Every structure is written in structure tokens, then in C-alpha cells.
Structure 1
Amino acid sequence: MRWFETPDFNFLKAHKIGYVVSGILLAAALIGILTKGLQYGIDFKGGKTFVLQFEDPVEVQDIRSELAEPLGGAPEVKFYGSPEEVLIRTDNPDDITTVQNAITGAMGQLYPDNPNQVIKTDIVGPRFAEDLKRGAVNAIIFALIVIFIYILIRFKDWTYSAGAVAALFHDVLIVLGVFTLLSDIVPFSLQIDQAIIAAFLTIVGYSLNDTVVVFDRIRENSLLYKTMDYDEMINKSLNDTLSRTVITSVTTFFVVAVLFLFGGEVLRGFSFALMLGVVIGTYSSLFIASSMVIELNKRQQKS
């Protein structure tokens, strides 16, 4: 199936608009991260986790509001498999027994006719949280380094590697900025935890796949159309892969949107990150990675 039989879009002209759009998005992301700071979850700052089981269904918004005062701040509250089970995460510094008693006492007042019991508790210490944070950063950096080397070996041209890594860095930073800016606005948790790190790595893989498809067509056309102007050849390559790129992105987005809508509170932040990643990754494959290759090749020829 092809949605664009003979596309002839002028991507090179649109690249200038892409520079402006990306510049605005990156600036907003950096300002948000630097001023507001990353919103880490319990996994990366330490805290306590409790799973409560009720006899009847409950509302996470009501529980979050009820626990804000006794815990010294609104905790992270999610459904845990069913409407009768909730996961509560808090960074309250008191010992686990005190915190548990505060939670069960507040739940007794909120739901006097809906008995509950704590079926699971867990503690994430500050040292362990720091190790997780360091490991997550190292995982993303290592992934980018391996991708740079892989693209370099496959295409035998460092400009392709630089373009691919720049696009991936662009995607992750913008998604991270959106999470930071919207953390106190959207009605679901956007805190950075292990699931979100997994989403970031998934975004890297998805965006890379799109970028490699475009680069493959650029390499093929560079051999087939040796007399064609370089910029024109790049534009033709982007148009050749446009149908495949759009269909893949739309179908993937629909699947992730279903996960976002029906996957439950626990997966909402993860699926939201993937939806953003699909859109931004597709955009960067068409407008960032290829434009970087063009600019770096031009500079390479001048030097």
C-alpha cells in the first residue's frame, strides 16, 4: 500500500522551516529542564512503595488528594492491575511503618465502608536510586555511541553517523522537555522512572530505523544518479521513502494511542512518551538527519 504514488515535496526548502521549529522546541525543552528540573520518580530519587487492595473500586485522584497532607506532598498513585488495587509511591522521609500507618489511616477515613489491606511494600534507598540514575544515563550515552559506530560501518561516511546521532539526541531532548513542562499540567504522572527510560530507548530505536531507511535510499540513489545535483538527489530520496515512513508512523501511532487510552494508569506515561517519540522521530528522520548530512557534506567539500 502506498499513500503517495509520485510525491514531489520540496523537503530541502522545508528544512529551513525545520531548523526554526526544532530550534524553538529545543530551546523550550532546555529552558524547562534548566528552570524546572527533571521530575524524577521514586526509582531515581529514593522513596517507599505500597500496594493497597480494597474490596471495592476506588479513584486514584481522590486517594492522591487525601494523602497529600499526611505524607507532606501528593504521592504518585496508580491502579495496580485492577480498580481495587492501587500502587502508592512517596518520598516521605519517615520510616516505612509510620508512612504505612499514615496511608492506611487516611484510607480508612476516605473509604470507611471499603476495607483495605497492604499487600506489598518496598523501599528504594537514595544510593540505589543514584545508581539507577547513573545507569540510565550511561545506557542512553552508550546506545548513541554504538549507533554512531554502526552507522559509520554501514555507510562508511561519518556524516551519516553525525546526522543520525543528532536526530536521536534531538528526539530524546524534546520528549524530555515536554515531560518536564507538562508534569504539573496533565492528569497523569510524567515522572522519569525506569519505564520512561525504556520508552526513551524505544524512541531511539524507532527513530533510528526510520533514519536508516532514508539513508539507505540516499546511498542507492547516489550510485544510480551520479550526475544529479546532490541536494536534488537527497530530496528525491526523501520523497521515495515518504510513503513507507508515513504508513509506518501512522500505524505505530494508532497502536500506541490504544495503549495510552486503554492500558491503564501504570502505562500512561510510557505510552505518552512513545506517541511523542513516533511523531518527533518521523519528523527528525525527514527534516533533521538528512539536513545534517547535507550541511556536513557541504562543509566537507569546502574544506
Structure 2
Amino acid sequence: MEIFKTDKIYDFMGKRLAFLGFSSILVIASIVLLFTKGLTFGIDFAGGTIIQVKYEQVAPINQIRDTLKQTKYANSSITKFGSDEEVVIRITGSSSDLVNDIGDEMHKILASTGNFEIRRVDMVGAKVGGELREKGIMALSLSLIVILIYLSFRFEWRFALASVFALIHDITIAMGAISLFSIEVNLDILAAILTLLGYSLNDTIIVFDRIREGIQTSKANELAEMINESVSKTLSRTTLTSLTTVFVVATLYFFGGEILNGFSFTLLVGIIIGTYSSIFVAATFLVQLKFSVDDFRAKDAEKLKRQREKEKIRAMYEQGTV
């Protein structure tokens, strides 16, 4: 199935400054949001308690809020969880209360709100939450470093830098969207971000593979012309793959329930931005980094020459002439 004709060449590089300008606006806006509004860390990273409550009737959320306002849990967050009968109470921050049986205490506090049962109590200390946050940042940083090293060996250092710049672009915008919509950052969000790294990198590598192939086979000498050719040929594949993934993730977002909303929202934003960067941004960084087609071809020819010499020596050795 072809959405775009493979024999038609689109002039992506002719509009690269416009794409870079648009991306710069998104990245700067995301950074401003992260520094001003910040991220809303969930229980996993900030420490605290999650209490899942199931009522026999529709959960009286307003009454629960009013009741908790009269206690030390006045700053708790109460949200519907899956069905109208279930709610989740999130008590952020640390806790001296973690040593008490908070489930029994909450049962007494909410006794006047109706018949219910406490289905789950999850507690994370502030120290543990801080350690998880540090390890999450470390995992993200190590992923980018390993990707940079891997791509330097597989392609060329400019390809590697362009890929990492595109990944940072994707992550920054995704984090900006998380901040803008006040999505609670927990281990699920971290998993979504790491998933986006792999997804976006896969798309970028496919485009770069085609660009490298174009450099080796094309008679043209202009990098921009080869990039236009290569990206145009992979356009249908990239679009179809992304649309298929978006449909699945959108289904998770709309029908997966409260527990999957943050995860699926992050993936949805990331896939859209990752697809955009693979087509319009990654190759643009390659041009901005002054990648030389002539130097690449010279190195490739030298590598091929050494390989042929090795094969010739091996053949002579097998024939007993060496």
C-alpha cells in the first residue's frame, strides 16, 4: 500500500529552515514550561501513598474531598478509577504516617461517605522515590550515550549526533506536553519515554540507512538532493507504521482507563513528534552538521579496497600461493 508515490521526490530540504524554526519554537516552549510550571511527580518519585477504594454505589467524590479537607490529608488528590464506583486517593509527600495502618485510618475517616472497601494500599517512602527519580534520569542519559556510540560505529559520527539531537528534540517536546497537561510523572511515564527512544530511533535509522544507500548508489553530489530522494522513498513506510501505532495507542488512551492514560498520552504525543522528526528534522541536522558526501564516498571506497585486498590474500592462501 502506498500513500505517497515512491517515484515522486519531495523537496524537504528546501524547507528545512522552516522545519527547524517550527521545531525550535516547540523545544523552547517545552523548556520554558519545564522550568516554570515543572513536572508533577507521582507517588513513585515523590513518595507517598495510593489508596484504592471501591464503593457499593457511585463514589461520592465531592463528599470524600470535603471529608478529607477536615483531616491531615487535606491536600490529597481524589480521582475516579475505571468505574464510577471506584476512586483512588493519592497522598503525596513523605511520611511518618507510613508506619501506621493508613488503610484502617482511612476506613474510619470515610465511614460517613457510604459503604466501601479498601482494595489497595501502596506506599513509597520519599527516600525511595528520590532514588527512583535519580535512577530514571540515569537510565535516560545512559540510553542516549549508548545510542550515540552504537550509531557512530554503524554509520558516521555526524549521523550519530544528528540522531541524538533528534531524540533530544522528541523527548523535550514530549516532556513539555506532560508538563502542559499536568500528567503525573511516575514509572509508567518513564517507561513510555524509554519506549519512545526506541521507536523514534528505529524510524531515524531506517531513513539514515536509505540516505547512506543513496550516497553509495546515486550519481548526484548534493547531499540535500540525496536526502530528498531517500526520505521520499521511505515516506509511505514511515507514515503507515506511525498511523498503525497511533491507532493502537489512541485506543489505549480512550478505552484503557485511568491507569493507562498517562502512559498512552505520552506515547501518543511521542509517536507523532517522533514521526515528524524522522521525516523533517533528523536529516536536517545532518545538513547543518556539514556532512560531506565526497569524504564519505572516499572512506567507503577505501574500506571496500581493504576488504577486496583481504579477500584476495585469503584466496591466495587457500590456493597455496602465499
Query: Where on the TM-score scale, by shorter chain, does this alignment land: which range?
Result: 0.7 to 0.9
Aligned counterpart, 1:186: none
Residue type at the aligned position of 1:149: I
The CA RMSD measured in Å over matched residues stands at 2.5
8 Å CA contact retained: 1:175, 1:273: yes
Cα offset, 1:237, TM superposition: 0.6
8 Å CA contact retained: 1:44, 1:130: yes
Aligned counterpart, 1:145: 145
Deviates more, 1:146-155 or 1:96-105: 96-105
Q: What residue ranges of structure 2 are gaps of 5+ in the alignment?
A: 296-322
Cα offset, 1:100, TM superposition: 4.4
Alpha-carbon distance between aligned partners in 2 of 1:171 and 1:150, rounded to the nearest angstrom: 19
Deviates more, 1:256-265 or 1:289-298: 289-298
Structure of greater Rg? 2
8 Å CA contact retained: 2:221, 2:293: no
The equivalent position to 2:289 in structure 1, one of 279, 288, 296, is 296
Aligned counterpart, 1:209: 202
Aligned counterpart, 1:154: 154
Q: Tell me the alpha carbon deviations over residues 207-263 of structure 1, each in whole angstroms, 9 at most, x when there is no partner.
A: 011101100100111111143422100111110110001111111101100000000
Cα offset, 1:120, TM superposition: 2.7
1:104 aligns with 2:107: yes
Aligned counterpart, 2:168: 169
SS for the counterpart of 1:297 is: coil
Aligned counterpart, 2:181: 182
Describe the shift of the 1:283–1:74 C-alpha distance in structure 2 as closer, same or farther (beyond 3 A).
same
Alpha-carbon distance between aligned partners in 2 of 1:65 and 1:17, rounded to the nearest angstrom: 52
Alpha-carbon distance between aligned partners in 1 of 2:26 and 2:65, rounded to the nearest angstrom: 32
Residue type at the aligned position of 1:11: F
Alpha-carbon distance between aligned partners in 2 of 1:105 and 1:119, rounded to the nearest angstrom: 15
1:115-126 to structure 2, matched below 5 A, reads 115-126=115-126
Aligned counterpart, 1:218: 211
Residue type at the aligned position of 1:272: F
Describe the shift of the 1:239–1:299 C-alpha distance in structure 2 as closer, same or farther (beyond 3 A).
closer
Aligned counterpart, 1:249: 242
Aligned counterpart, 2:14: 13
8 Å CA contact retained: 1:63, 1:77: no
SS for the counterpart of 2:40 is: coil
Alpha-carbon distance between aligned partners in 1 of 2:225 and 2:76, rounded to the nearest angstrom: 55
1:20-39 to structure 2, matched below 5 A, reads 20-39=21-40
Q: Normalization by structure 1: what TM-score? A: 0.87
Cα offset, 1:158, TM superposition: 0.3
Aligned counterpart, 1:56: 57
Describe the shift of the 1:23–1:127 C-alpha distance in structure 2 as closer, same or farther (beyond 3 A).
same
Cα offset, 1:153, TM superposition: 1.6
Alpha-carbon distance between aligned partners in 2 of 1:64 and 1:267, rounded to the nearest angstrom: 24
Number of aligned residue pairs: give it: 291
The equivalent position to 2:77 in structure 1, one of 75, 85, 95, is 75
8 Å CA contact retained: 1:78, 1:88: no
Deviates more, 1:89-98 or 1:125-134: 89-98
Aligned counterpart, 2:310: none
Alpha-carbon distance between aligned partners in 2 of 1:178 and 1:59, rounded to the nearest angstrom: 31
Alpha-carbon distance between aligned partners in 2 of 1:283 and 1:170, rounded to the nearest angstrom: 11
Describe the shift of the 1:30–1:299 C-alpha distance in structure 2 as closer, same or farther (beyond 3 A).
farther
Q: What residue ranges of structure 1 are gaps of 5+ in the alignment?
A: 184-189
Alpha-carbon distance between aligned partners in 1 of 2:214 and 2:62, rounded to the nearest angstrom: 55
1:199 aligns with 2:192: yes
Alpha-carbon distance between aligned partners in 2 of 1:8 and 1:2, rounded to the nearest angstrom: 14
Alpha-carbon distance between aligned partners in 1 of 2:261 and 2:79, rounded to the nearest angstrom: 12
Alpha-carbon distance between aligned partners in 2 of 1:40 and 1:301, rounded to the nearest angstrom: 49
Q: Tell me the alpha carbon deviations over residues 252-291 of structure 1, each in whole angstroms, 9 at most, x when there is no partner.
A: 1011000000000000011000110110000111122111
